[in-house]
C-alpha cells in the first residue's frame, strides 16, 4: 500500500437523506450510465418524500450523485446499512425497486444492485416479495 492510498476513495459519512437518494441512484446507475430520464425520476421521487421537506434537496442530490459516481453503485450499496431505522431501509429498498421497474423490466445490473441492497439492508424475502408485488401492480399494463 502506497503512502497516498489511504487518501483515496474513503467511505463517506452520510445521513439518511443522502442514503435514500443513493439507494435510488445506485439502481439508476447500475448499468454504468446516468440516463436523463432516470435521474429526473430520482429527483421527482425525492420531491415527494417527507425526509426532504425542509432540506436543500439539490445539495443532498449532488452529494449523493457524486458518491455513487465516484465509488460505484455496488460499492455504495454497503453504506445503505447505515440508514437510521428498519422503516427507512424498507423505504430505500422500495424506492430503488420502483426506479428499476420504471423502465419496464429489471436488467442484470439492477438485479445485482437490488440483491446486494436486500442483503446489506437485511430485507427479508417476505418484505422484498411484498414490495415487488405492489410495484408490479403499479407497472402492470
Place of cell 444492485: 113
Tens-digit pLDDT profile for residues 73-113 = 999 999 999 998 999 999 999 999 999 999 888 889 999 99
Percent of the chain residues past pLDDT 90, beyond the cut? 70
72: exposed, middle or buried (Cβ count in 10 Å: 0-12, 13-18, 19+): middle
CB burial of 26-62 (b: ≥16 within 10 Å; e: otherwise) equals bbbbbbeeeeeebbebbeebbeeeebbeeeebeebbe
Q: Is the pLDDT of residue 122 over 80?
A: yes
Domain ranges across the chain = 14-139
Tens-digit pLDDT profile for residues 4-13 = 565 554 443 4
Nearest 5 degrees, angle CA 16-CA 117-CA 122?
85
Mean pLDDT value across the chain = 88
Contact 123, 117 (CB under 8 A): yes
pLDDT at residue 56, rounded to an integer: 85
CATH 3.30.70 fits domain 14-139: no
Amino acid at each position: 500500500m502506497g503512502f497516498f492510498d489511504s487518501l483515496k476513495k474513503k467511505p463517506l459519512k452520510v445521513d439518511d437523506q443522502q442514503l435514500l437518494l443513493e439507494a435510488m441512484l445506485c439502481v439508476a446507475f447500475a448499468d454504468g450510465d446516468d440516463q436523463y430520464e432516470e435521474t429526473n425520476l430520482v429527483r421527482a421521487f425525492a420531491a415527494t418524500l417527507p425526509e426532504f421537506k425542509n432540506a436543500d434537496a439539490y445539495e443532498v442530490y449532488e452529494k449523493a450523485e457524486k458518491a455513487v459516481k465516484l465509488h460505484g453503485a455496488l460499492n455504495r450499496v454497503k453504506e445503505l446499512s447505515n440508514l437510521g431505522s428498519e422503516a427507512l431501509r424498507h423505504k430505500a429498498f422500495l424506492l430503488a425497486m420502483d426506479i428499476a421497474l420504471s423502465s419496464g423490466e429489471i436488467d442484470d445490473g439492477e438485479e445485482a444492485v437490488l440483491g446486494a441492497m436486500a442483503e446489506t439492508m437485511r430485507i427479508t424475502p417476505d418484505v422484498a416479495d411484498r414490495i415487488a408485488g405492489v410495484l408490479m401492480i403499479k407497472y402492470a399494463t
